[in-house]
Amino acid sequence: MPMSPLPPNSSSALSPSAAAPSEFSQPRFSDPEFSPAERSLLLCLAHDSIISALHAREISLEPPTPHLAEPRGAFASLYLAGQLRGCVGYVLPTSSVYRAVAECARAAAFDDNRFAPVTEEEAPHLNIELSILSPPQPILPEAIEVSRHGLLISQHGRRGLLLPQVPVERKWDRTTFLEQTCSKAGLPLDAWQKDATIQAFTAEVFSDKD
């Protein structure tokens, strides 16, 4: 199904993420599921999704392989000259990984309200980092592994998510990671010790710089 161009600052079901790390941080956070060819294809798709919007050109979002048709959550982080230029994503696997990457990249370029829309002059110079998420699963606090797991904590209709990169980049221990995910949800720091729901996921992270 073709993907029509989004006008700059158009509304989107995706939400900006404050979870983006500094550019292309190490280590990587899960065993590779996607081959080098698939990674290259998804990164090319992310770039084309942005450029096609600027040129008012439609692109196909029909997954080219069964693997890329599997549902996944995904985040796209855009960088320009080493600085974050936008980060938007799906938490839950609501569409194919192929479509999710295209939509996240386009929304990161034009719908992250922390930044002005990406311009035609900037687009060729963007570096893109993709985080492909596994489905969130319930987890006990003591089973959380910093650098491996991302967290999704929810309670009373509030929900906060942090990618696996974040505690590594900020040198947080497990308790701080839990507290800061609660804070992201607008919950008390100790909500994870009470009746909040804690879910974990892993992320396969790769970028133009790999």
For the chain, the average pLDDT equals: 87
- Retrieve residue 28's tokens: 């990587």
* pLDDT higher than threshold 90 for residue 4: no
pLDDT of residue 50: 98
pLDDT of residue 16: 55
pLDDT of residue 3: 55
pLDDT of residue 59: 95
* pLDDT higher than threshold 70 for residue 206: yes
- Retrieve residue 108's tokens: 């990161």
Task: Label residue 209 by pLDDT band (50, 70, 90).
Answer: confident
Over residues 60-104, the pLDDT tens digits come to 999 999 999 999 999 999 999 999 999 999 888 889 999 999 999
Query: What DSSP string describes 139-161?
Result: --GGG--TTT-EEEEEETTEEEE
Phi/psi at 175 (nearest 5 deg)?
-65, -45
Separation between Cα atoms, residue 45 and residue 59, nearest integer Å: 9
Over residues 25-38, the pLDDT tens digits come to 333 445 688 999 99
Over residues 132-191, the pLDDT tens digits come to 998 899 999 999 999 999 999 999 999 999 988 899 999 999 999 999 999 999 999 999
Domains of the chain: 35-133 (3.30.700.20), 137-202 (3.30.1490.150)
Separation between Cα atoms, residue 207 and residue 152, nearest integer Å: 23
Over residues 177-204, the pLDDT tens digits come to 999 999 999 999 999 999 999 999 998 9
Phi/psi at 45 (nearest 5 deg)?
-60, -45
Contacts of 40 (CB under 8 A, 6+ apart): none
Task: Label residue 210 by pLDDT band (50, 70, 90).
Answer: confident
